[in-house]
Amino acid sequence: MLSVTPDFPEYRFIIAGATSLPESFYRPFLEQYPNVGLEQGKTYELLAQSDAALVKSGTSTLETALIGTPQVVCYAGNPVSFAIAKRVVKVPFISLVNLILNRPLVRELIQDDLSRIKLKEALAEILAPEQAAAMKEGYSELRRLLGDGGASLRAAKEILMMNDE
C-alpha cells in the first residue's frame, strides 16, 4: 500500500497503527517511506479526517464506511490459504460493505489484483470529488440497510423469543 505514496505528493499518508504492535514493528516502513507518518490507537480519528483510505479487508471496511471515508479494500494473503478459502467460502465480495449492499460499491483489490498500478488507479479514482460523493451516497444506503443502533439488544430479544418457543 505504501508504494503509491510518492505518486500523491499533495497528500499526507499516515499508518493507523495497531496498539497491539510496538512502534518498532512500523519503523522499517517509516524509514523506507519518510513521507509517511504513524499514529497508534487513533484509527477512527484518522479516518474521520481523511480524504480517502487504503483499508485491509475485514471489519475495518465497514467501520470506514460508517465513518464516511472513501476507501479501497486491500487483501493479499498466503496463496494456498486463499485458494482453499475461495473453494470453501462462496461469496461474491470480500468486503462487508459490498456484501451488505450486495453490489460493488468499494473497489476490492485482492491477491494478484493488489498491485501498485491498480492501487494507484483506485486511489486516484476515489480522490476525485464526484467519485467520493458517489461512494458516500452508497454509504448512506448502507446505513439505511443496517438500521438504527441497538443491534445487540434486538438480537438478544430475538434469541430470548426463540428460547420461549
d(C-alpha 125, C-alpha 123), whole Å: 5
In whole angstroms, give the CA distance from residue 121 to residue 131. 13
Structural domains counted in the chain: 1
Q: What is the pLDDT of residue 159?
A: 75
Element (H, E) at 157: helix 151-164
pLDDT (0 to 100) of residue 139? 97
Cβ distance 56 to 77 under 8 Å?
no
* Spatial CB neighbours of 73, under 8 Å, sequence gap ≥ 6: 55, 56, 57, 61, 94, 95, 97, 106, 107, 108, 109, 110
pLDDT on residue 149: 72
Report the alpha-carbon distance of residue 47 to residue 81 in Å, rounded: 30
What was the pLDDT predicted at 54?
Answer: 98
Query: Residue 127 has what pLDDT?
Result: 98
Convert the pLDDT of each residue in 84-125 to its tens digit.
Answer: 666 676 778 889 999 999 999 999 999 889 999 999 999 999
- Whole-prediction pTM: 0.84
- How many angstroms separate the CA atoms of 68 and 139, rounded? 7
**Integer angstrom CA distances of residue 65 from 60, 73, 158:** 8, 11, 27
Residue 122 maps to which CATH number? 3.40.50.2000
Q: Which domain holds residue 126?
A: 2-164
Low-confidence ranges of the chain (pLDDT < 50): none
